Structure 1
Amino acid sequence: MSVLLETSLGDIVIDLETEVCPKTCQNFLKLCKVYYYNLNAFFNVSKDFLAQAGDPTATGTGGESIWSLIASQQGKQEPRYFSPEFVPRLKHRERGTVSMAVAPAIEGQGKGGCGSQFFVTLADEIDYLDGKHAVFGHVVEGLDTLYKLNDVFTDQEGRPLKDVRIRHIEILDDPFEDPPGLVVPELIPTRPPDNSTRIAEDEDPLATLPEEEAENERRKQAARAAALTLEMVGDLPFANVRPPENVLFVCKLNPVTRDEDLELIFSRFGTIMSCQVIRDKKTGDSLQYAFIEFDKREEAEQAYFKMQNVLIDERRIWVDFSQSVARLNTSWSNNPKMEPRLPRGGRGAGRREPTGFGGLDNLEATRRYREGATGDGARYGMVFDVDGGGRRQTRHARSRSRTPRRDRSRDLPRRSRSPRPSARGTHDRERRSSRERRSRERSDRRR
């Protein structure tokens, strides 16, 4: 009667003494049948002495007999251990002797005996174990695995630094009937029963990655660390946030290019939720870049491929996907004064608009600018917003079907296009005129 132990170091075949140790062999075989030993670790390995396993907790204090296991599953009480079967002729004479570990009697916890823990000897003539632990089998195949097990590196407590585990036990022959109430699990365990922090049994601690892959991994770790730092200081709502996929970043703009110019040009690719040229917070001058939010990611992708290096107001623009989450962070800031903007009017008045983050299914909602919304709710909440002086965009229903599917930059009205300044004085006069116009607009709003 034999069993096959498939370990992380190799296979071991154990021949059991079922005739002279029937109760011990029945306990061992039935524990194997219910996958009790699967993924158990050899938690105690002593060179030229023994290798011990069979404790799911890998501490040396766990484990129980099959009868105690069945009783606990049924909510009944049963002794944890059974009496060991000592046979005088079965001794620890040869390497590969398999014995049940006999637990000592502990005051207040009943008498000792055999549970589930067993060990395999790693040397010959260990006779001082005779009469103390119950021999019930011998290793007949896989002695080379025992040599490997004998040479593993261990810590001061005898636990291998790299886990050695029993991956599976195959029962080759079982002459015993199942105890009443024995239930075989439908699924084989896939996770170790103990919380080991050692080197995994399938992990190579000496393995090295190619230089390019190692550099990429270092950069990813540095990026994760930086993101975690930003989350701790409140600049990011959470470390795994990533920019939305429907927002484009447009730079190298002409300083005279306005929000409505960009919106008119990019609207041929789809519905634009927001379009704003970012301006200096103090002076209101254009910083020559903008963010354009589309309703769908596919529309943003089409605009990205079609508008790269297009001439707008005599400047070749550069288009890329946004890498910033500054706009999204306003509603997740740790500052309680930073509240989400609400539309003042229209259908969305009085309701908090959803704001989401790209990459997470439960936060994919994008803030919608309601038809007819005005005021602060229609602005694009970037960090460079001009307080009171920026253009406050109002969403009006317009027919997109009238917009031809071609570059509209050359078909814009003359007032929306600026001739290229021919001299420094002309450019200065235009800037002064622009500032005076914005000043008049502010005065009109206040009145």
Structure 2
Amino acid sequence: MSVLLETSLGDLVIDLETETCPKTCENFLKLCKVYYYNLNAFFNVQKDFLAQSGDPTATGVGGESIWSYIQSSSSNSSSSVPRFFTPEMNPKLKHTTKGTVSMAVAPAVDGGLSGCGSQFFITLVDNADYLDGIHAVFGHVVEGLETLDKLNDVFVGRDFRPLKDVRIRHVEILDDPFPDPPGLIRPPSSPIKPPDNSTRIAEDEDPLATLPEEEEERLRREKAAAASALTLEMVGDLPFANVRPPENVLFVCKLNAVTRDEDLELIFSRFGTIMSCHVIRDKKTGDSLQYAFIEFDRREDAEQAYFKMQNVLVDDRRIWVDFSQSVAKTNNAEAVGLVGRDDLVQTKRYRDDFDEKGRGGYDMVFDVPDRDRRRKRSRSRDGRDSGRDSRRRRSRSASPRRERDRRRDDHRR
């Protein structure tokens, strides 16, 4: 009478001592039949000692016998069935060879033996005679000793649980001589989710697996962009972290200070219709900050200009072209309505923001009329101040001359 355990490390074939331990073997076989052990973890693996499983909670305190399971699954049963059953201790069955399968016997409160439920363990070493008389042997591993070697070499934590889950993926009953107990109902399919809430490395996950260099770089850039967006949202520069910059606006830098808006618009207009083109200038001085934003009507035109104009010589300066990362135009009340939509950033018509005199648009664009008025006011203030200062200087310079004339007249008298 045998059972095949398909684990994440390999297969194990267990021969059961059905004649010597009939009740223990019946309990084990029927639990296998109702998929009780499927996706259970080996939660206690001690090197050169044993590997323990059969607890759905993976804590060492869970599990029950098949008769308790049937009673708990039936809502019409009024009789009380104990959780554990009495272990079958046979002095002929000992833990002498590697691969011995035993039911874990739970200790009672008074220090005696409480009974067996569903938990079992497999020895990973020969001559574990200190387990004799304490736990009930009911089978032996006859195939898959190399799987036990892999199980013996897994990395574990302080609680002896493997850092990477080792699970029983499936159980196949090869021979079952016992009739089903009353009330036993086999589930239609095996469970697809582990019964415990494990936070360890999944049994089908490879922590050392490496992605292609291009894929790793892409993932790294995505994580860095998400972190930067969250930071900008926290400091208030973005309305929300999911906002995306427009795809039809180019950022051009390393410009010559003499390059004008009209020059850039003329150069870039050969790629498509330009909605706006602005060289950013200082508010106070009106000097070019040597970078600009160019908005195309179509994203395809912006992409073509990006590839064609990189490092092109403009006014004796090689410019640098990139897609704009600014979302200042979307950082307003209207952007709130775009949350959750695919077209999160819609095409903006910056030219509509300018009046017939060229004012408005970007906040950093210099306002020419205001600049003229400020210069006139500054010139008038400077003129009045310089007049008063010159009169003071003339008055101060005249005082010593009058003093000298007065002294000369006194001396003559």
TM category (shorter chain) comes to 0.5 to 0.7
User: What is residue 189 of structure 2 aligned with on the other side?
Assistant: 185
Give CA deviations for 1:413-432 in whole Å, capped at 9, x if unaligned.
xxxxxxxxxxxxxxxxxxxx
3-state SS in 2 of match to 1:40: coil
Using the TM superposition, give the Cα deviation of residue 40 of structure 1 relative to its aligned residue in structure 2, in angstroms: 3.0
From 344, 347, 354, give the equivalent of 1:365.
344
C-alpha spacing 1:56/1:28, structure 2 compared with 1 (3 Å): same
Name the aligned partner's letter for residue 174 of structure 2.
L
Give CA deviations for 1:336-356 in whole Å, capped at 9, x if unaligned.
xxxx16xxxxxxxxxx25686
- Matched length: 365
C-alpha spacing 1:325/1:161, structure 2 compared with 1 (3 Å): same
Name the aligned partner's letter for residue 187 of structure 2.
V
Please give the alpha-carbon distance, in whole angstroms, between the structure 2 residues aligned to 1:225 and 1:371: 27
Bigger-Rg structure (1/2): 2
Please give the alpha-carbon distance, in whole angstroms, between the structure 2 residues aligned to 1:273 and 1:284: 23
Using the TM superposition, give the Cα deviation of residue 86 of structure 1 relative to its aligned residue in structure 2, in angstroms: 0.5
**Structure 2 matches for 1:320-331, cutoff 5 A?**
320-322=322-324, 324-325=325-326, 327=328, 331=331
For the Cα contact (< 8 Å) 1:269–1:303, is it kept in 2? yes
User: What is residue 422 of structure 1 aligned with on the other side?
Assistant: none
3-state SS in 2 of match to 1:158: coil
User: What is residue 28 of structure 1 aligned with on the other side?
Assistant: 28
TM-score, length-normalised on structure 1? 0.62
Name the aligned partner's letter for residue 138 of structure 1.
H
Give CA deviations for 1:258-287 in whole Å, capped at 9, x if unaligned.
546645664565565654322224333222
For the Cα contact (< 8 Å) 2:45–2:52, is it kept in 1? yes
Give CA deviations for 1:78-101 in whole Å, capped at 9, x if unaligned.
757241340525522322221222
Q: Does 1:99 align with 2:102?
A: yes
Give CA deviations for 1:98-148 in whole Å, capped at 9, x if unaligned.
1222234469xxx95333211012334444544543322111122333344
3-state SS in 2 of match to 1:3: strand
Using the TM superposition, give the Cα deviation of residue 295 of structure 1 relative to its aligned residue in structure 2, in angstroms: 5.2
For the Cα contact (< 8 Å) 2:165–2:200, is it kept in 1? no
User: What is residue 386 of structure 1 aligned with on the other side?
Assistant: 364
Q: Does 1:439 align with 2:372?
A: yes
**Structure 2 matches for 1:170-181, cutoff 5 A?**
170-176=172-178, 180-181=184-185
Please give the alpha-carbon distance, in whole angstroms, between the structure 1 residues aligned to 2:259 and 2:161: 70
User: What is residue 302 of structure 2 aligned with on the other side?
Assistant: 300
Name the aligned partner's letter for residue 139 of structure 2.
G
Q: Does 1:12 align with 2:12?
A: yes
3-state SS in 2 of match to 1:41: coil
For the Cα contact (< 8 Å) 1:282–1:386, is it kept in 2? no
Please give the alpha-carbon distance, in whole angstroms, between the structure 1 residues aligned to 2:237 and 2:82: 56
For the Cα contact (< 8 Å) 2:276–2:351, is it kept in 1? no
User: What is residue 277 of structure 1 aligned with on the other side?
Assistant: 279
Using the TM superposition, give the Cα deviation of residue 60 of structure 1 relative to its aligned residue in structure 2, in angstroms: 0.9
C-alpha spacing 1:197/1:217, structure 2 compared with 1 (3 Å): farther
User: What is residue 138 of structure 1 aligned with on the other side?
Assistant: 140
Name the aligned partner's letter for residue 196 of structure 1.
T
**Structure 2 matches for 1:40-439, cutoff 5 A?**
40-66=40-66, 68-69=68-69, 79=81, 81-88=83-90, 91-95=93-97, 96-105=99-108, 112-176=114-178, 180-185=184-189, 188-189=192-193, 193-197=196-200, 203=206, 223=224, 227=228, 233=235, 243-259=245-261, 262-263=264-265, 266=268, 269=271, 275-294=277-296, 296-308=298-310, 317-322=319-324, 324-325=325-326, 327=328, 331=331, 340=332, 352-353=334-335, 362=341, 364-369=343-348, 373-374=352-353, 385-386=363-364, 389-390=366-367, 439=372
Q: Which runs of 5+ in 1 are unaligned?
A: 332-339, 342-351, 391-434
Using the TM superposition, give the Cα deviation of residue 373 of structure 1 relative to its aligned residue in structure 2, in angstroms: 4.8
| Greater shift in the superposed pair: 266-275 or 10-19 | 266-275
For the Cα contact (< 8 Å) 1:40–1:56, is it kept in 2? yes
Using the TM superposition, give the Cα deviation of residue 303 of structure 1 relative to its aligned residue in structure 2, in angstroms: 2.5
Aligned CA RMSD, in angstroms, stands at: 4.8
Name the aligned partner's letter for residue 125 of structure 2.
A
Bigger RCO (CA 8 Å, 6+ sep)? 2
Please give the alpha-carbon distance, in whole angstroms, between the structure 2 residues aligned to 1:176 and 1:437: 99
Name the aligned partner's letter for residue 195 of structure 1.
S
For the Cα contact (< 8 Å) 1:162–1:201, is it kept in 2? no
For the Cα contact (< 8 Å) 2:276–2:349, is it kept in 1? no
Using the TM superposition, give the Cα deviation of residue 246 of structure 1 relative to its aligned residue in structure 2, in angstroms: 3.3
The percent of aligned pairs where both chains have the same amino acid is 65
Using the TM superposition, give the Cα deviation of residue 366 of structure 1 relative to its aligned residue in structure 2, in angstroms: 1.6
TM-score, length-normalised on structure 2? 0.66
Using the TM superposition, give the Cα deviation of residue 209 of structure 1 relative to its aligned residue in structure 2, in angstroms: 9.9
Name the aligned partner's letter for residue 60 of structure 1.
G
Q: Which runs of 5+ in 2 are unaligned?
A: 377-413
Using the TM superposition, give the Cα deviation of residue 14 of structure 1 relative to its aligned residue in structure 2, in angstroms: 0.6
C-alpha spacing 1:375/1:123, structure 2 compared with 1 (3 Å): same
3-state SS in 2 of match to 1:183: coil
Whichever structure has more helix as a proportion of its residues is: 2
C-alpha spacing 1:147/1:66, structure 2 compared with 1 (3 Å): same
